[in-house]
Each structure stands twice: as structure tokens, then as C-alpha cells.
């Protein structure tokens, strides 16, 4: 699923060239009705065993409100709608970001997050009001950080909601990888990775293998947690901060 048809077509062509049977469905994860249509389409193809929700935008790709809506509300829509049609032994994997770990625990707006469980419109309104108080030059970065932190929080809540149905819900927080989104973020993101424990950017194949493992039956007891997969970037940052104290 994606909003840009040309990108979907190119992705499908690449997969088919590799001998992989794939189909695309144009849509917008932040729009509930669009997601419902996606779910119906997926159901028409058979049982839904795995959902990997990777739709998202970074600080250089949109304004603060749009970033938050796509990243946070999109996760709510995908998770809740697909959970209704998934069966025991299935898995939802949400893609967060190492940025989720940049938000100090004391600053996590959990009272705002809790609104998402009862009233998504109230959740959006409260989040936008919160972001409007942030200096304009910091707004997109803060929207991204909070939205990705929310993804990890909502993942744990969805896991509690779905676990007894046999549906696992997990998330992964990637560092900087050699992907189009990584390129958009430019030298700043790359330099952060180079200062990390492993001193390099991640390869696309590395995160693909990790995600495939997380949704597989080999990880049948992995539920309600986030995997920070950043080559030790956050660990290096925290070590530096501790050493400076």
C-alpha cells in the first residue's frame, strides 16, 4: 500500500523481476476509509497472516501536522482494522524509528497518547495543540520524534488487546539505513550512524532479514515489544552523554 502509484508500480516490477508474486493497492494509511478498503482487498486474497506497517514520513518530507497524522494515526488505522480480520498465529509489525528513543521518558505525553484508545479526533487535536507550542524550526523534528515514540507505545497497547486472540503485535525502531528515506535525511543522519557503536549505516538486507524473523513463527513468543535496530547509535549517544556529566 502507498499513496504514490508510480512508486508502487516500480516496486511491483522489481519484485516480479525477482520472481516474487506481488500486487499493489494505492491508498493512504492516515485515512480510515482507505485502510478499510485495503483490508477488504487483502481479505479477498485469502487469510491475512502478516502485516508490516512501514508507511511513514520523515522531518524533511512534510509539515508537523502531516507527519504526526501519517505516522501516528496511520498506525492506529492499520493496526485496528487489520486486527479485526486476523487469526491466531498472525503478526502485525509496526515500523518506528530510533528517534523514538530520543524523547526523555519524563517528556513522553502519555495522557495525549491515551486519547487514541477512545477518540482519535481528540487525540489528533491534542497532539496538534502540543506541537503548535514548539518553535517552528523544531516542529517537524518534534512531530517525527513524538509520532514514532507513539508507535512503540501503541504497539504495546495493541499487543495487550490482541494477544489472547493469538495475534502478536511488535515494532522495530531502525537506525539509519541505505534507503531512500535515509538519503532524504542526508548527512546529519549518516553522521549520527557513523558515530554509533558499529560506525556505519545499515544495509537494507539487514533490516529486511530482521523484520522477516520478527514476523516468523520462530518468534512466536515475541509480543508487545520494540526492537531497537540501529547499529548501537542510541547506545553510543547515551554513553557520550553520561561521560559528559
Q: How far is CA 219 from the centre of its chain?
A: 19
Domain-located, residue 37: no
- DSSP assignments along 19-51, one per residue: T------B--TT-HHHHHHHHHHHHHTS---EE
* Confidence (pLDDT) at 184: 58
The mean pLDDT values, 10 residues at a time, for the chain of 245 residues are 74 90 90 97 96 92 95 98 98 98 94 98 97 93 97 99 98 91 68 92 96 98 98 96 92
Domain-located, residue 187: yes
* Confidence (pLDDT) at 199: 95
Q: Using DSSP, state whether 58 is helix, strand or coil.
A: coil
CATH of the domain at 174: 3.40.50.720
Domain-located, residue 159: yes
* Confidence (pLDDT) at 3: 67
Q: How far apart are CA 215 and CA 50, in angstroms?
A: 7
Domain that holds residue 70: 50-244
Domain-located, residue 104: yes
Domain-located, residue 31: no
Domain-located, residue 66: yes
Domain-located, residue 70: yes
Count of domains forming the chain = 1
- DSSP assignments along 85-116, one per residue: T--TT-EEEEE--GGGGGS-GGG--HHHHHHT
Of 91, 10, 86, nearest in space to 53 by CA: 91
What is the H or E stretch that residue 226 is in?
A: strand 226-229
Q: Specify whether the CB–CB gap between 193 and 202 falls below 8 A.
A: yes
* Confidence (pLDDT) at 181: 64
What is the H or E stretch that residue 8 is in?
A: helix 5-17
Domain-located, residue 1: no
* Confidence (pLDDT) at 185: 60
Amino acid at each position: 500500500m502507498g499513496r504514490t502509484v508510480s512508486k508502487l508500480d516500480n516496486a511491483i516490477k522489481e519484485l516480479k523481476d525477482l520472481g516474487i508474486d506481488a500486487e499493489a493497492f494505492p491508498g493512504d494509511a492516515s485515512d480510515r476509509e482507505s485502510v478499510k478498503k485495503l483490508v477488504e482487498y487483502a481479505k479477498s486474497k485469502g487469510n491475512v497472516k502478516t502485516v508490516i506497517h512501514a508507511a511513514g514520513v520523515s522531518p524533511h518530507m512534510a509539515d508537523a501536522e502531516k507527519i504526526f497524522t501519517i505516522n501516528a494515526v496511520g498506525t492506529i488505522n492499520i493496526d485496528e482494522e487489520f486486527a479485526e480480520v486476523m487469526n491466531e498465529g498472525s503478526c502485525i509489525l509496526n515500523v518506528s524509528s530510533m528517534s523514538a528513543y530520543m524523547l526523555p521518558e519524563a517528556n513522553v505525553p502519555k495522557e495525549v497518547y491515551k486519547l487514541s484508545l477512545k477518540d482519535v479526533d481528540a487525540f489528533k487535536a491534542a497532539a496538534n495543540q502540543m506541537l503548535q507550542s514548539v518553535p517552528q524550526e523544531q516542529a517537524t523534528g518534534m512531530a517525527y520524534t513524538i509520532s514514532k515514540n507513539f508507535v512503540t507505545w501503541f504497539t504495546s497497547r495493541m499487543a495487550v488487546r490482541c494477544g489472547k486472540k493469538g495475534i502478536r503485535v511488535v515494532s522495530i525502531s531502525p537506525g539509519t539505513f541505505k534507503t531512500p528515506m535515509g538519503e532524504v535525511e542526508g548527512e546529519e543522519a549518516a553522521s549520527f550512524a557513523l558515530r554509533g557503536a558499529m560506525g556505519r549505516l545499515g544495509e537494507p538486507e539487514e533490516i529486511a532479514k530482521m523484520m522477516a524473523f520478527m514476523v516468523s513463527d520462530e518468534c512466536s513468543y515475541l509480543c508487545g515489544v520494540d526492537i531497537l535496530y540501529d547499529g548501537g547509535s542510541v547506545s553510543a549517544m547515551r554513553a557520550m552523554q553520561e561521560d559528559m556529566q
